[in-house]
Amino acid sequence: MTVTTAERSLATLERVWQARPGVLGWLTTVDHKRIGLLYFWTTLVFFAFGGTEALLMRTQLATADEHVIGPGGFNELLTMHGVTMIFFFIIPMTTGAFGNYLIPLMIGARDMAFPRLNALSYWLFLGSGVFMYSSFLVHQAPNAGWFDYVPLALKRYDGGLNIDFYALGLIFNGVSSTVGSINIVTTIFKLRAPGMSWNRMPLFCFAMLAAALSLIFALPALTMDCVFLELQRKAGFDFFSPPGGDPLLWQHLFWIFGHPEVYIIVLPAFGIATSIIPTFARRRMLAFPLVAMAELLVAFIGFGVWAHHMFATGISTTTLAFFAAASMAVVIPSTIQVFAWLFTVNLGTPLFRTPLLYIGGFIVFFVLGGLTGIMFAAIPFDQAATDTYFVVAHFHFIIFGAAVFPLFGGIYYWFPKVTGRLYDEQLGKASFFTVFAGTLLTFFPMHIVGLLGMTRRVYTYDSGLGWDVYNLIETIGGFVLAAGILLILVNLIVSWRRNLPAGRDPFNGGTLEWTIPSPPPHYNFAVVPTVTSAYPNWDAADRAHDVEKLAHGESVLADGHQTPTSTVNDAFADPVADMPAESPWPIVVGVAVTAAFFMLLTMHVLVAAAFVAITLLALTGWHADDEDAAWPPSRLARANGWWGMVLFVAAEATLFGTLIGSYVYLGFRNVQWPQAPIAKPHVLVPVLLTAALVASAVPVQLAWRAGRSNRTKAAWRFLAGAFALQLGYFIWQVHDWVDAIHDAPPSRSTYSSIETTMLGFGHAHVLLGLLIDAWLLVQLARRFTPYRLVGLQSAAFYWWAVSVISVAVLLTQESVHL
């Protein structure tokens, strides 16, 4: 029998991409599909935890004067329910599970841009979940609500480890989400199949891009907020306590993260809806560019509405007007999408299969929840209804109805792709109607009890207030909802074991994942796919061209773990990227970081430092085994690593923006700034030192230029010179910083607290840069490879960014002289 070229190519790909079998294979995997599945199952476990917490609370509230749970336990349950559902279920399920599994398949890539970083983000996520849930083992789970308002969360009122678990757990979880988001954005920027310019990218990817960018820019505010809280709780700093500090600072920073968070949760749901609707309406999405723009606009405007959560806190009326306007305007891009979805279904020939039913449910709840959202944008209504069950009803219609329904729809929709089996349609529809009824029963009566005056977070209530019947209905609804979710699980597990094979494309979906076998092979695509529209699976000529390419052995890329890369804007073909294979380092780093956080929690700072050192050693091992790649013959666009650095710097710049904003905000709250008797900072020495730091970025840039023209010795010398200058700057600045802390301890005033923190973060970034330089110096002395050239280019960008940040910090610090 003759072996064809196509068969030979497929056999080679199978061999090259073969995954390590067994548990070890899963622990060391960097395959985006396996990592997506790890995220999926882990988040389902957390969903079960969060759901159980909700059912326990509903049982307690089923009737008046219940005694199932005491007030302390109820506080822990309500806090962990919120934290779990948002940070450990919806975000990791959407970006981690759906994003990881589907984005490379939709854009024609063979993996994410940074496969090992992808694995690391999962292990950090798992570690943060274990960290947070271990709080139950010591009976000290977070207990101040999911937004953890101060002063309730300060040591004076909550002296256990409860809040420390919360603050450290969220900082930890934020690292995982930031790493994952940088990976998603770089993947979408750089790994789209040639031909997939922005206007041909699936709307799902636009939604994931918007969500990932939002995470990168929103999480630093939460991280900084939690850092402030921990510094105040554990080291005696003062950010939130009057007269110098301000408890509203916590709320501002929390909601600068928290409101975009709502859209971060809902945006992937939009993406799933825009995938399912065209498939089952059997036509392309109407108003494609406007829907893409609307997805980005929702994310963007979402950053400008944070204070609408603070209408009842007493902030000035003139300030409130800003946020009321933006809160109402965010409805417009959402409405554009709703009309686009409805008209696409209306103009198509819809098949009301289970996934589309879930999208129908999503639209119903999104519109209802959106309407009550507009009501809250009206300041007088908000002030009357805030902190009642009306708010709980509103956000559960959005967060459960609008965010989770599409997840269920998406699970059904891509189930045949992931497992290769068809699901049971009748059971699917039964699950939809049960879940829909359960959602309505659980959350709709909350509007009524809220308007009747039932406040959120009460652990019990008296009978005779008119709340009893509604609460009983809500509890029954909660159990109906749980039954519906169990039906989904039963359907999927039974179908996976027993049902008919799905084939490549059971629904005639439009995007690239439907062009490959189900389940997808390890290498995803046998050839680099041809893309000429946003619905490539419906372009029969292109698909026939791919078959021809395979038959001739063209564009197979089987010389290792290779994937095509492309230019950011128009997806012109760029050099092929070599992707890493399985690696033990991500899980080693994940375990070490988890241990470090546990040690920080218990204030074993030296042991925590030892685990940080282990992390650094593991990172050295991670980067030591990089194979030499061939020099790229020509490169149209910058490499993945450079984009990763740009996004990392963007997150860090946002962190400093938060610090500087907090400094200005606290300055506004104090008539005297710095507070007496603290002296104003010196001018000359900080200015000269900052000038030296800015100047040190020049030799790093020159090192990259020398490296690019293959003058490796010159590159090393430029970098060594920069390193010496930066090290001198660091030593001098840290010395001054320690002296300043000695003269004016942070525990003495809010000014010293914010000043010390701001400068400390600045120095930490210089230290990080020094570590990057040191690593590059060692590596460049050994070998000079394209991989290290990208490292040099990224280091140059990093130092320019640190220079700009240092100037901003200097200006902020010296602004007291104005």
- Is there binding between residue 807 and other proteins (CB under 8 A)? no
Which of 97, 326, 441, 802 binds other proteins (CB under 8 A)? It is 326
Stretch that binds other proteins, among 73-81, 565-573, 779-787, 796-804 (CB under 8 A): 565-573
Which of 13, 216, 307, 488 binds other proteins (CB under 8 A)? It is 307
Give rounded-to-5 percent helix, strand, coil for the chain: 70, 0, 25
- Is there binding between residue 318 and other proteins (CB under 8 A)? yes
Tokens of 157: 């009122």
Residue nearer to other proteins on the CB measure, 307 or 719: 307
Stretch that binds other proteins, among 286-294, 364-372, 511-519, 682-690 (CB under 8 A): 286-294
Which of 472, 483, 664, 804 binds other proteins (CB under 8 A)? It is 664
**Shortest Cβ distance from residue 221 to other proteins (Å)?**
12
- The CB density around residue 384, as the number of other CB atoms within 10 Å, is 12
Which of 157, 322, 352, 631 binds other proteins (CB under 8 A)? It is 322
Residue nearer to other proteins on the CB measure, 96 or 333: 333
Residues in region 596-625 near other proteins by CB under 8 A: none
Cα 343–chain centre separation: 31
8 A C-beta contact, residue 257 and residue 218: yes
Angle value at C-alpha 266, between 264 and 268, nearest 5 degrees? 80
Stretch that binds other proteins, among 145-153, 298-306, 676-684, 802-810 (CB under 8 A): 298-306
Tell which residue, 411, 415, 336, 330, has the closest CA to residue 376.
330
Residue nearer to other proteins on the CB measure, 326 or 646: 326
Residue nearer to other proteins on the CB measure, 670 or 747: 670
**CB crowding 520-549: b at 16 or more within 10 Å, else e:** bebbbbbbbbbbeebbbbbbeebeebbeeb
Q: Measured between alpha carbons, how far is residue 132 from residues 222, 264, 357, 738 in Å?
A: 16, 21, 35, 33
Residue nearer to other proteins on the CB measure, 570 or 736: 570
Residue nearer to other proteins on the CB measure, 670 or 712: 670
- Is there binding between residue 304 and other proteins (CB under 8 A)? yes
Angle value at C-alpha 684, between 679 and 688, nearest 5 degrees? 135
Which of 149, 300, 343, 479 binds other proteins (CB under 8 A)? It is 300
Tell which residue, 353, 465, 458, has the closest CA to residue 409.
353
3-state secondary structure of 748: coil
Residue nearer to other proteins on the CB measure, 81 or 259: 259
8 A C-beta contact, residue 703 and residue 722: yes
**Shortest Cβ distance from residue 563 to other proteins (Å)?**
20
Which of 289, 464, 633, 677 binds other proteins (CB under 8 A)? It is 289
Q: Measured between alpha carbons, how far is residue 60 from residues 52, 449, 463 in Å?
A: 12, 16, 14
- Kindly state the number of chain residues that form the binding site for other proteins, as judged by CB under 8 A: 46
**Shortest Cβ distance from residue 384 to other proteins (Å)?**
13
Stretch that binds other proteins, among 174-182, 310-318, 337-345, 450-458 (CB under 8 A): 310-318
**Shortest Cβ distance from residue 319 to other proteins (Å)?**
5
Residue nearer to other proteins on the CB measure, 324 or 393: 324
- Is there binding between residue 107 and other proteins (CB under 8 A)? no
3-state secondary structure of 575: strand
Which of 80, 297, 516, 795 binds other proteins (CB under 8 A)? It is 297
Stretch that binds other proteins, among 88-96, 294-302, 342-350, 399-407 (CB under 8 A): 294-302
Which of 45, 64, 290, 437 binds other proteins (CB under 8 A)? It is 290
Which of 288, 443, 467, 585 binds other proteins (CB under 8 A)? It is 288
Interaxial angle between packed helices 203-235 and 162-190, expressed in degrees from 0 to 180 and rounded to the nearest 10:
150
* Interacting residues of 796 by C-beta distance below 8 A, sequence separation 6+: 697, 700, 701, 703, 704
- The CB density around residue 318, as the number of other CB atoms within 10 Å, is 7
Residues 500-539, one symbol each (x = binds other proteins by CB under 8 A, - = not), give --------------------------------xxx-----
- Is there binding between residue 321 and other proteins (CB under 8 A)? yes
Residue nearer to other proteins on the CB measure, 143 or 566: 566
**Shortest Cβ distance from residue 315 to other proteins (Å)?**
8
Tell which residue, 58, 89, 68, 250, has the closest CA to residue 163.
250
How big is the chain by its Cα radius of gyration, in Å?
A: 27
Residues in region 181-240 near other proteins by CB under 8 A: 195, 197-200
Residue nearer to other proteins on the CB measure, 329 or 472: 329
Residue nearer to other proteins on the CB measure, 197 or 241: 197
Which of 153, 301, 516, 600 binds other proteins (CB under 8 A)? It is 301
Tokens of 467: 């709340």
Strand partners, 578: 562
Residue nearer to other proteins on the CB measure, 172 or 643: 643
HEC string for 696-744: HHHHHHHHHHHHHCCCHHHHHHHHHHHHHHHHHHHHHHHHHHHHHHHHC
DSSP character string of 151-172: TTTSTTT--SSHHHHHHHHHHH
Tell which residue, 311, 327, 302, has the closest CA to residue 248.
311
Taking the C-alpha atoms of residue 691 and residue 168, their distance in angstroms, rounded to an integer, is: 35
**Shortest Cβ distance from residue 206 to other proteins (Å)?**
10
- The CB density around residue 138, as the number of other CB atoms within 10 Å, is 12
Stretch that binds other proteins, among 21-29, 316-324, 744-752, 776-784 (CB under 8 A): 316-324
3-state secondary structure of 421: strand
Residue nearer to other proteins on the CB measure, 300 or 730: 300
Stretch that binds other proteins, among 25-33, 34-42, 113-121, 568-576 (CB under 8 A): 568-576
Query: Strand 562-566 relative to strand 573-578: parallel, antiparallel, unpaired?
Result: antiparallel
**Shortest Cβ distance from residue 754 to other proteins (Å)?**
16
Tell which residue, 261, 263, 291, has the closest CA to residue 402.
263
3-state secondary structure of 529: coil
Stretch that binds other proteins, among 332-340, 599-607, 721-729, 779-787 (CB under 8 A): 332-340
Taking the C-alpha atoms of residue 146 and residue 754, their distance in angstroms, rounded to an integer, is: 25
- Residue 616: burial class (beta carbons within 10 Å; 0-12, 13-18, 19+): middle
- Is there binding between residue 759 and other proteins (CB under 8 A)? no
DSSP character string of 338-371: HHHHHHHHHHS-----HHHHHHHHHHHHHHHHHH
8 A C-beta contact, residue 644 and residue 113: yes
Residue nearer to other proteins on the CB measure, 34 or 200: 200
- Sequence length of the chain is 818
Stretch that binds other proteins, among 322-330, 390-398, 454-462, 554-562 (CB under 8 A): 322-330
- Is there binding between residue 483 and other proteins (CB under 8 A)? no
Residue nearer to other proteins on the CB measure, 307 or 706: 307
Taking the C-alpha atoms of residue 138 and residue 123, their distance in angstroms, rounded to an integer, is: 23
- Is there binding between residue 314 and other proteins (CB under 8 A)? yes
- Is there binding between residue 325 and other proteins (CB under 8 A)? yes
- Is there binding between residue 335 and other proteins (CB under 8 A)? no
Which of 292, 407, 448, 792 binds other proteins (CB under 8 A)? It is 292
Cα 542–chain centre separation: 34
DSSP 8-state code for residue 577: E
- Is there binding between residue 650 and other proteins (CB under 8 A)? no
Q: Which spans of this chain sit near other proteins (rule: CB under 8 A)?
A: 195, 197-200, 288-290, 292-293, 296-297, 300-301, 303-304, 307, 314-322, 324-326, 328-329, 332-333, 336, 532-534, 569-572, 664-665, 667-669
